[in-house]
Amino acid sequence: MRSPGGDRPLLVGPESGPTSPFPLRVGGPVIKGFGRGSKELQIPTANIPIEGLSVGGCENVESGVYYGYASLALPSAPEPIVFPMVMSIGWNPFYKNKVRSVEVHIIHEFKEDFYGVEMRLVILGYIRPEYDYVSKEALIEDIKFDIKVGLKSLERGAYKAFKDDPYLKTVKQGEGRN
Ligand code: ADP
Ligand code: RBF
Ligand code: MG
């Protein structure tokens, strides 16, 4: 059971750029999750179907917390917009989920929800395993630190370059929407 605090590095992954299995490219339409992210944690997570992992050829990817870029084909924009993100793949041990989920916190403030919109991910590095926590506050503190790790790690040239990855940009407008 993890407690709040504890030092961990702000930079994750080699300076020279992502190494195998990264970069991983997965995507799917944003679906309803457990309804907890925004309400309980004040950290919304856009969920995509777990099947997205097999399409991307990474169904065996280790559970844990990752960072990278996400793009959204928002109806209001002419082309997909790319944002930094941190995400969890796994069972949310703190909540003892019965299903494995893929949840992405986009590091940007949105005015509106974007359920149904096609989201594409380029995953560039592994931050940490998923933990169980002594409290909700301890989980929130760790996720806030993950956000710092993600942003800082993406600032490096060999990671920043993936912001322009064609996979993030090639979503046809309307794709993935209901
Ligand atoms: P759910 O349990 O349905 O996933 P959440 O409480 O986790 O609900 O909220 C996620 C939803 O909030 C996303 O599907 C998206 O429409 C919206 N949202 C708003 N801002 C963000 C953000 N910065 N990152 C991810 N999702 C966001
Ligand atoms: N849930 C856990 O139970 N343990 C974790 O270590 C954990 N780490 C997370 C890290 C990030 C960056 C994100 C976005 C989510 C994480 N979650 C974790 C999932 C969190 O519990 C989930 O997003 C909410 O319960 C809403 O579904
Ligand atoms: Mg969610």
Model pLDDT, residue 135 = 95
Domain boundaries, position 41: 24-169
pLDDT at 144: 97
Per the listing, tokens 């041990």 go with 93
pLDDT at 149: 98
Of the bound ligands, which one is closest to the alpha carbon of residue 38?
A: 1
d(CA 170, CA 178): 19
The confidence score (pLDDT) of residue 101 equals 93
In the chain, which residues have pLDDT < 70? 5-6, 172-178
Which atom of ligand 1 sits closest to the CA of residue 109?
Answer: 23
**What would the pLDDT profile of 141-160 be if each residue is shown by its tens digit?**
999 999 999 999 999 999 99
CA dihedral 122, 125, 126, 127 (to 10 degrees): -110
- Is 134 part of any domain? yes
- The strand pairing partners of 48, in sequence order, are 102
State the CATH number of the domain containing residue 77: 2.40.30.30
130 pocket-lining for ligand 2 (C-beta < 6 Å): yes
Catalytic (active site) residue 62: no
Q: What is this structure's pTM?
A: 0.95
Is residue 176 in some structural domain? no
Cβ of 128 below 6 Å from ligand 2: no
Q: For the chain, how many structural domains are there in total?
A: 1
Q: Is residue 5 part of a domain?
A: no
Quick check: is 138 in a domain?
Answer: yes
Q: Is 10 part of a structural domain of the chain?
A: no
Catalytic residue among 40, 51, 103, 137: 103
3-state secondary structure of 26: strand
Does the residue 174 lie in any domain? no
Domain contains 99: yes
Q: Quick one: pLDDT at residue 98?
A: 87
* Best residue for ligand 1 mutational test, from 43, 45, 82 (most atoms within 8 Å of Cβ): 45
CA of 104, closest atom in ligand 2: 14
pLDDT at 177: 46
- Which residue bears the tokens 């702000």? 10
The answer to the question of residue 17 being in a domain is no
Residues above pLDDT 70, as percent of the chain: 95
Q: Tell me, what's the pLDDT at 57?
A: 74
Q: Which atom of ligand 2 is nearest to the CA of 105?
A: 14
